[in-house]
């Protein structure tokens, strides 16, 4: 086990908001499209093996999974949005669970909003950022799968997304990440610790 690994234990999976755990731990939540790499990023941050389940088939899990880490922070792996087969009516909306979490969960200190670095942010990614800003939740954008891009393309994407969030009061940063190489891990851990210690207040 790597010396800087972070241990964690699975607390529970919640299918409905009333099943969210009743505790006072600060929480950091992962939101993003199905298959964008939320569970992989949790595992990459922890470096203690497969704590969060990673799958090849998107949209499989519809639960919010809570993991208590020895950072004193609870990680929340939210279901992915945008999986077309979930429901036509709901396409373009977030699931009730994600909305409820983002809008009402008191424990949340920061949200990690994941966007695939290989593509322009999709309309649903932009509405997710909008809801975070509207809800007044500090958020950091993690650009995922950067190992699949050239460094120059990673830089260009980072600059593009920085431009997108430049007017957002609650945007903390845009971080290039890779669950494969560990890119961005230290930056995210730094942000998570500052969030835990309540160091983010809007400008």
Q: Which residues bind ligand GTP (CB under 6 A)?
A: 32, 34-40, 54-56, 58-61, 80, 144-145, 147-148, 178-180
- DSSP secondary structure letters along 29-77: EEEEBTTSSHHHHHHHHH-SS--S---SSTT---SEEEEEETTS-EEEE
Binding footprint of Mg ion, residue count (CB under 5 A): 2
Residue 109's binding partner out of ligand GTP, Mg ion, none, with CB under 5 to 8 Å set by partner kind: none
The three-class DSSP label of residue 191 is helix
Position with the least CB separation from ligand GTP: 80
**Host H or E run for residue 193:** helix 185-196
Nearer to ligand GTP, 71 or 113 (CB): 113
**Least CB distance to ligand GTP at residue 75 (A):** 12
Residue 148's binding partner out of ligand GTP, Mg ion, none, with CB under 5 to 8 Å set by partner kind: ligand GTP
Instruction: Report the alpha-carbon distance of residue 137 to residue 142 in Å, rounded.
Output: 15
Binding flag, residue 95, Mg ion (CB under 5 A): no
Binding flag, residue 39, Mg ion (CB under 5 A): yes
**Segment interacting with Mg ion (CB under 5 A) among 34-42, 81-89, 125-133, 193-201:** 34-42
Q: Say what angle helices 185-196 and 38-46 make with each other, to 10 degrees.
A: 90
């Amino acid at each position: 086990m790597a010396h800087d690994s972070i241990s964690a234990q699975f607390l529970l999976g919640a299918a409905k908001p009333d099943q969210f755990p009743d505790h006072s731990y600060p929480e950091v939540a992962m939101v993003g499209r199905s298959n964008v790499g939320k569970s992989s990023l949790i595992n990459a941050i922890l470096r203690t093996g497969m704590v969060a389940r990673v799958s090849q088939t998107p949209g499989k899990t519809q639960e919010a999974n809570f993991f208590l880490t020895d950072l004193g922070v609870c990680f929340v792996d939210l279901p992915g949005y945008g999986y077309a087969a979930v429901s036509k009516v709901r396409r373009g909306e977030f699931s009730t669970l994600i909305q409820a979490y983002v809008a009402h969960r008191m424990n949340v200190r920061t949200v990690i909003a994941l966007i695939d670095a290989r593509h322009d942010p999709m309309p649903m990614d932009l509405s997710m950022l909008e809801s975070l800003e509207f809800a007044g939740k500090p958020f950091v954008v993690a650009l995922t799968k950067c190992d699949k891009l050239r460094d120059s393309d990673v830089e260009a994407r980072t600059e593009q997304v920085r431009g997108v969030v430049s007017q957002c009061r609650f945007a903390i940063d845009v971080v290039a990440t890779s669950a494969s190489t560990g890119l961005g891990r230290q930056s995210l851990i730094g942000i998570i610790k500052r969030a835990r210690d309540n160091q983010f207040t809007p400008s």
